[in-house]
Amino acid sequence: MPDTGFKVGDKKVWVECKRITSFKKLEANVRDASEQLERAFKRNPGSAHKGLVAIDISKLANDGSKILVKPDENSLRADMGRYVEHFIEQQRQQWEKVYRKRDKRIMGTLVRLSTMASVEERNLPTVATEWVVNPRDHLPEADQNFLQQLASALDST
Protein backbone atom coordinates (compact mmCIF):
# COMPACT_ATOMS: atom_id res chain seq x y z
CA MET A 1 0.00 0.00 0.00
CA PRO A 2 1.17 3.55 -0.65
CA ASP A 3 2.16 5.71 2.31
CA THR A 4 -0.94 7.88 2.14
CA GLY A 5 -3.62 9.18 -0.16
CA PHE A 6 -6.57 11.49 -0.39
CA LYS A 7 -9.81 11.77 -2.27
CA VAL A 8 -10.97 14.86 -4.16
CA GLY A 9 -14.30 14.53 -5.89
CA ASP A 10 -14.16 11.31 -7.88
CA LYS A 11 -10.32 11.15 -7.85
CA LYS A 12 -8.34 9.03 -5.42
CA VAL A 13 -4.70 10.19 -5.27
CA TRP A 14 -2.15 7.76 -3.89
CA VAL A 15 1.04 9.32 -2.50
CA GLU A 16 4.29 7.43 -2.05
CA CYS A 17 6.81 9.30 0.11
CA LYS A 18 10.61 9.10 0.16
CA ARG A 19 13.16 10.96 2.27
CA ILE A 20 16.10 11.83 0.07
CA THR A 21 19.41 11.77 1.91
CA SER A 22 21.77 11.84 -1.07
CA PHE A 23 21.66 13.07 -4.65
CA LYS A 24 23.05 9.70 -5.77
CA LYS A 25 19.99 7.86 -4.45
CA LEU A 26 17.37 10.26 -5.83
CA GLU A 27 16.61 8.34 -9.02
CA ALA A 28 16.48 4.98 -7.22
CA ASN A 29 14.09 6.39 -4.60
CA VAL A 30 11.79 7.81 -7.29
CA ARG A 31 11.90 4.49 -9.15
CA ASP A 32 10.97 2.61 -5.97
CA ALA A 33 8.14 5.03 -5.16
CA SER A 34 6.72 4.86 -8.68
CA GLU A 35 6.83 1.04 -8.63
CA GLN A 36 4.86 1.11 -5.37
CA LEU A 37 2.28 3.42 -6.97
CA GLU A 38 1.95 1.07 -9.96
CA ARG A 39 1.26 -1.82 -7.57
CA ALA A 40 -1.50 0.30 -5.96
CA PHE A 41 -2.98 0.97 -9.42
CA LYS A 42 -3.06 -2.77 -10.15
CA ARG A 43 -4.91 -3.41 -6.89
CA ASN A 44 -7.28 -0.47 -7.59
CA PRO A 45 -7.91 -0.27 -11.34
CA GLY A 46 -9.64 2.70 -12.88
CA SER A 47 -8.79 6.03 -14.41
CA ALA A 48 -10.00 7.91 -11.30
CA HIS A 49 -6.93 6.64 -9.43
CA LYS A 50 -3.88 8.90 -9.70
CA GLY A 51 -0.48 9.03 -8.04
CA LEU A 52 2.17 11.41 -6.80
CA VAL A 53 5.73 10.72 -5.71
CA ALA A 54 6.50 12.88 -2.68
CA ILE A 55 10.14 13.52 -1.88
CA ASP A 56 11.43 15.23 1.24
CA ILE A 57 14.73 16.99 0.49
CA SER A 58 15.20 18.48 3.97
CA LYS A 59 18.29 16.37 4.78
CA LEU A 60 19.95 17.49 1.54
CA ALA A 61 19.57 21.14 2.54
CA ASN A 62 20.33 20.85 6.23
CA ASP A 63 21.60 17.99 8.38
CA GLY A 64 19.64 19.45 11.28
CA SER A 65 22.50 21.44 12.77
CA LYS A 66 21.66 24.79 11.16
CA ILE A 67 18.97 27.40 11.67
CA LEU A 68 17.92 29.49 8.69
CA VAL A 69 17.82 33.11 9.88
CA LYS A 70 15.90 35.69 7.83
CA PRO A 71 14.80 39.24 8.64
CA ASP A 72 11.10 38.63 7.94
CA GLU A 73 8.60 35.98 6.91
CA ASN A 74 8.56 37.08 3.25
CA SER A 75 12.35 36.67 3.01
CA LEU A 76 12.10 33.24 4.60
CA ARG A 77 9.38 32.06 2.22
CA ALA A 78 11.24 33.46 -0.80
CA ASP A 79 14.51 31.77 0.21
CA MET A 80 12.80 28.41 0.79
CA GLY A 81 10.96 28.70 -2.54
CA ARG A 82 14.17 29.52 -4.41
CA TYR A 83 15.94 26.54 -2.90
CA VAL A 84 13.19 24.10 -3.91
CA GLU A 85 12.82 25.61 -7.41
CA HIS A 86 16.60 25.38 -7.93
CA PHE A 87 16.56 21.75 -6.75
CA ILE A 88 13.79 20.94 -9.23
CA GLU A 89 15.62 22.66 -12.10
CA GLN A 90 18.80 20.73 -11.34
CA GLN A 91 17.30 17.31 -10.57
CA ARG A 92 13.97 16.91 -12.38
CA GLN A 93 15.50 15.02 -15.29
CA GLN A 94 16.27 12.18 -12.88
CA TRP A 95 12.60 11.63 -12.08
CA GLU A 96 11.45 12.38 -15.62
CA LYS A 97 13.70 9.55 -16.85
CA VAL A 98 11.90 7.20 -14.45
CA TYR A 99 8.41 8.50 -15.34
CA ARG A 100 8.92 7.88 -19.07
CA LYS A 101 8.66 4.15 -18.29
CA ARG A 102 5.88 4.46 -15.72
CA ASP A 103 2.09 4.48 -15.66
CA LYS A 104 0.65 7.74 -17.00
CA ARG A 105 -1.53 8.03 -13.89
CA ILE A 106 1.55 9.15 -11.94
CA MET A 107 1.04 12.90 -12.22
CA GLY A 108 4.39 14.12 -10.95
CA THR A 109 6.48 14.93 -7.93
CA LEU A 110 5.62 16.70 -4.72
CA VAL A 111 8.79 18.23 -3.24
CA ARG A 112 9.00 19.13 0.46
CA LEU A 113 11.66 21.13 2.29
CA SER A 114 11.48 21.68 6.04
CA THR A 115 14.04 23.32 8.33
CA MET A 116 14.41 25.12 11.62
CA ALA A 117 14.30 28.86 11.06
CA SER A 118 14.22 32.15 12.85
CA VAL A 119 12.42 35.27 11.71
CA GLU A 120 14.34 38.21 13.21
CA GLU A 121 11.40 40.64 13.28
CA ARG A 122 9.50 38.21 15.51
CA ASN A 123 12.53 36.87 17.38
CA LEU A 124 10.95 33.42 17.50
CA PRO A 125 12.26 30.08 16.32
CA THR A 126 9.95 28.26 13.94
CA VAL A 127 9.83 25.35 11.55
CA ALA A 128 9.67 26.54 7.94
CA THR A 129 8.19 24.19 5.37
CA GLU A 130 7.88 24.64 1.61
CA TRP A 131 5.90 22.36 -0.72
CA VAL A 132 6.17 22.50 -4.51
CA VAL A 133 4.18 20.39 -6.97
CA ASN A 134 6.15 19.52 -10.12
CA PRO A 135 3.95 17.97 -12.86
CA ARG A 136 5.53 15.29 -15.02
CA ASP A 137 6.29 16.08 -18.65
CA HIS A 138 3.38 15.73 -21.12
CA LEU A 139 0.76 15.59 -18.36
CA PRO A 140 -2.82 15.92 -19.69
CA GLU A 141 -4.40 19.33 -19.15
CA ALA A 142 -7.04 18.00 -16.74
CA ASP A 143 -4.32 16.56 -14.49
CA GLN A 144 -2.28 19.79 -14.76
CA ASN A 145 -5.33 21.76 -13.62
CA PHE A 146 -5.85 19.34 -10.74
CA LEU A 147 -2.23 19.77 -9.63
CA GLN A 148 -2.54 23.56 -9.81
CA GLN A 149 -5.54 23.36 -7.49
CA LEU A 150 -3.56 21.07 -5.17
CA ALA A 151 -0.63 23.50 -5.14
CA SER A 152 -2.97 26.40 -4.30
CA ALA A 153 -4.50 24.41 -1.47
CA LEU A 154 -1.05 23.54 -0.08
CA ASP A 155 0.06 27.15 -0.38
CA SER A 156 -2.90 28.39 1.64
CA THR A 157 -2.17 26.10 4.60
Q: What is the pLDDT along the chain (157 residues), one digit of tens a residue?
A: 678 888 887 888 999 999 999 999 999 999 999 999 999 999 877 778 999 999 999 999 888 788 999 999 999 999 999 999 999 999 999 999 999 999 999 999 999 999 999 999 988 888 999 999 999 999 999 999 989 888 887 776 6
Inside any domain, residue 119: no
Query: Does 68 reside within a domain?
Result: no
55 falls within a domain: yes
Where helices occur in the chain by DSSP H, the ranges are 26-43, 58-61, 73-99, 141-155
Whether residue 120 is contained in a domain is answered as: no
Decide if 99 is inside a domain: yes
User: Domain tally for the chain?
Assistant: 1
CB–CB of 17/54 below 8 Å? Answer: yes
C-alpha pair distances (Å), 153 with each of 1, 15, 136: 25, 16, 19
SS3 87: helix
The Cα-based distances of 20 to 42, 66, 113, 128 in angstroms read 26, 18, 11, 18
In a domain, 70, yes or no: no
Domain of 15? 4-60+75-111+129-155
Task: Give the CA diameter of the chain.
Answer: 52
**Residue 29 located in a structural domain:** yes
> Closest Cα partner for 41 from 97, 94, 107, 98?
107
On whether residue 79 sits in a domain, the answer given is yes
Rg (CA), the chain: 16
